[in-house]
Amino acid sequence: MQKAMFCSYLQLRLSTEDILYLLGYAESSSLLRAFKRWTGMTFKQYQTKLLTEPNLSHQQNIS
């Protein structure tokens, strides 16, 4: 459920801090570790990939 919500928030281009709050994480490091488990890449790597591949589907890359 959190992965799907996270994808939705990414599509809305919310900040990391906003996503952190909305998902109920106490610390950004916890969210960023979970994100790396979900995607296999850091949040920064994923953001860079989104910028270079604008048609990238969030749902396809978070397994």
Number of neighbouring beta carbons within 10 Å of residue 20: 19
Token reading at 57: 């589907």
Neighbouring residues of 53: CB distance < 8 A, sequence distance ≥ 6: none
pLDDT of residue 61: 52
pLDDT band, very low/low/confident/very high, at 54 (cuts 50, 70, 90): low
Phi and psi angles of residue 58, each rounded to the nearest 5 degrees, phi first: -65, -40
Residue 12: band (very low, low, confident or very high) from pLDDT cuts 50, 70, 90? confident
- Could you report the per-residue pLDDT of 16-48, keeping only the tens digit for each? 889 888 988 888 888 888 889 988 988 888 878
